[in-house]
Amino acid sequence: MTEPRRDVTGGRGPADSLEANELLEVRDLQVVYRRRRGLLGRGKDELRAVDGVTLSVREGEAVGLVGESGSGKSTVAQAVTRLVPVDSGSITLRGRPLSAASGKELRDLRRELQMVFQDPYSSLDPSMTIRSALREPLHVLGLKRSVDVERVLHTALDAVGLPTSSLDKFPHEFSGGQRQRIAIARALVPEPTMLILDEAVSALDVSTQAQVLSLLQDLRRERGLAYLFIGHDLAVVRRMSDRIAVMYLGRIVEEGPAERVVSHPAHPYTAALLAAVPDGRKDREHDRRKLIHRGANPDPWNRPVGCSFATRCPFAMDICFEQDPQTTGIRQGGTVDCHLQTSGATLAGEVLGDLVADHEHGGAEYAS
Q: 92 pairs with which residues across the strands?
A: 25, 97
**Predicted pLDDT at 220:** 96
CB < 8 Å & 24+ apart, contacts of 140-149: 140/107, 141/107, 141/110, 141/111, 141/190, 142/104, 142/107, 143/111, 143/190
**Predicted pLDDT at 296:** 66
**361 phi and psi angles, rounded to 5 deg:** -85, -20
Q: How many CA atoms lie within 13 A of 207 on its CB side?
A: 1
Q: Is 53 left (phi over 0), alpha (psi -120 to 50) or beta?
A: beta
Consecutive 10-residue runs of the chain (368 residues): their mean pLDDT? 43 41 94 81 82 95 95 95 93 90 85 91 92 93 83 96 96 94 96 95 91 96 97 93 96 96 92 77 46 67 89 89 92 91 63 50 33
**Predicted pLDDT at 237:** 95
**Predicted pLDDT at 274:** 87
